[in-house]
């Protein structure tokens, strides 16, 4: 089989779309949703990392009780009020971003590292290997991700680490499916055929050509999933299957204030708003990335 690479149409999209990607980045910077999402995410990450320096009461933010000041309403001294143990809610919200965002990013990265290689191998090889891997993913996809994570976390024991591991196990099949679909659409492209003709090994083809062209949909999916995982981590913490007291965690803080949400509304409202802001920001950024990077839209 002979394949000519004289025509630019036969080059991989990653190599012939540099100009398009530049235009897409410029469009992304002009997108108000993308800018808002990026600003909120950057702010939340910065506040979480710098919480020991920014929090008005760092010790309380990490769990130290101050019983004489319990259940105080928002004021100049405690902008977000205090909880049932007298801990400053603002400080707790600042420190609570660490497990929420950190676990979410770790879950997405782990799910990508597990799912993408398996999906690429399945899509490229086909045959019995593809069938075996896809039936395995179907087995995981038969359960709602949060329900499966709840079962795994409860089985392993309630902790933040186990909750993150459970969510990664629940999430990787989606990336396997996505990577398989992209790989199947690319494996008979002329530039892939040319690589085979010249004796390029399969791992190199998958890493240099297939993965490079699959980066865009994976990046978009991972950005949106980061927000979804933050919500899932909060849900597991709310149910007592993730972070345990006195660990500062947004979902756990919402759970701690649920019984007095009418009288001491600030205890659960502010961490709930933090979860809302994080999920909304990642979804705004993910939607903007999808619209800008989708070749069918021409990068707007």
pLDDT digits (tens, 9 = 90+) for 62-99: 989 999 999 999 999 999 999 999 999 999 999 999 99
pLDDT at 1: 38
pLDDT mean over 120-134: 90
Q: Is residue 228 part of a domain?
A: yes
> What burial class does residue 155 get, using C-beta atoms within 10 Å of its C-beta: 0-12 exposed, 13-18 middle, 19+ buried?
exposed
Domain count, the chain: 1
pLDDT at 282: 95
Which range is least confidently modeled, 16-20, 201-205, 210-214, 216-220? Answer: 16-20
Higher pLDDT, residue 300 or 59:
59
Q: How confident is the model at residue 16 (pLDDT cuts 50, 70, 90)?
A: very low
| Whole-number average pLDDT of the chain | 86
Q: What is d(CA 101, CA 230) in angstroms, rounded to the nearest whole number?
A: 6
Which range is least confidently modeled, 91-105, 178-192, 224-238, 276-290? Answer: 178-192
Q: How confident is the model at residue 167 (pLDDT cuts 50, 70, 90)?
A: very high
Instruction: Determine the number of helices (DSSP H) and then strands (DSSP E) in the chain.
Output: 14, 0
pLDDT at 22: 62
Q: Is residue 11 part of a domain?
A: no
Q: Is residue 151 part of a domain?
A: yes
Instruction: Please enumerate in sequence order all residues whose Cβ is within 8 A of that of 132, keeping only pairs 6 or more positions apart, or say none.
Output: none
Domain carrying residue 227: 16-57+79-297
Q: What is d(CA 60, CA 37) in angstroms, rounded to the nearest whole number?
A: 29
Higher pLDDT, residue 194 or 29:
194
Q: What is d(CA 105, CA 147) in angstroms, rounded to the nearest whole number?
A: 20
Q: Is residue 70 part of a domain?
A: no
pLDDT at 11: 37
Instruction: Please enumerate in sequence order all residues whose Cβ is within 8 A of that of 9, keeping only pairs 6 or more positions apart, or say none.
Output: 16
CATH of the domain at 137: 1.10.3720.10
pLDDT digits (tens, 9 = 90+) for 283-292: 999 888 887 7
Q: What is d(CA 279, CA 47) in angstroms, rounded to the nearest whole number?
A: 16
pLDDT at 300: 44
pLDDT mean over 17-24: 54
Q: Is residue 66 part of a domain?
A: no
């Amino acid at each position: 089989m002979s394949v000519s690479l004289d025509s630019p149409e036969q080059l991989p999209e990653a190599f012939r779309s540099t100009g398009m990607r530049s235009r897409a980045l410029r469009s992304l910077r002009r997108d108000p949703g993308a800018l808002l999402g990026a600003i909120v995410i950057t702010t939340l990450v910065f506040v979480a990392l710098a919480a020991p320096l920014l929090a008005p009461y760092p010790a309380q933010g990490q769990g130290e009780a101050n019983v004489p000041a319990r259940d105080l309403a928002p004021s100049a001294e405690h902008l977000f009020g205090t909880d049932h143990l007298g801990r400053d809610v603002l400080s707790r919200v600042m420190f609570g971003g660490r497990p929420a965002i950190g676990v979410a990013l770790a879950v997405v990265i782990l799910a990508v590292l597990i799912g993408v290689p398996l999906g690429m191998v399945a899509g490229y090889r086909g045959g019995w290997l593809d069938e075996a891997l896809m039936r395995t993913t179907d087995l995981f996809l038969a359960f709602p991700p949060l329900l499966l994570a709840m079962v795994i976390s409860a089985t392993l024991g309630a902790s933040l680490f186990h909750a993150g591991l459970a969510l990664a196990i629940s999430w990787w099949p989606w990336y396997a499916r996505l990577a398989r679909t992209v790989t199947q659409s690319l494996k008979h492209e002329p530039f892939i055929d040319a690589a085979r003709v010249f004796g390029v090994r399969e791992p190199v083809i998958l890493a240099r050509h297939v993965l490079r062209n699959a980066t865009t949909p994976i990046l978009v999916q991972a950005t949106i999933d980061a927000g979804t995982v933050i919500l899932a981590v909060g849900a597991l913490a709310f149910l007592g299957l993730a972070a345990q007291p006195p660990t500062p965690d947004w979902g756990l803080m919402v759970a701690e204030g649920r019984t007095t949400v009418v009288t001491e509304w600030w205890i659960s409202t502010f961490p709930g708003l933090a979860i809302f802001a994080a999920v909304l920001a990642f979804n705004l950024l993910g939607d903007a990335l999808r619209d800008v990077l989708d070749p069918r839209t021409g990068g707007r």
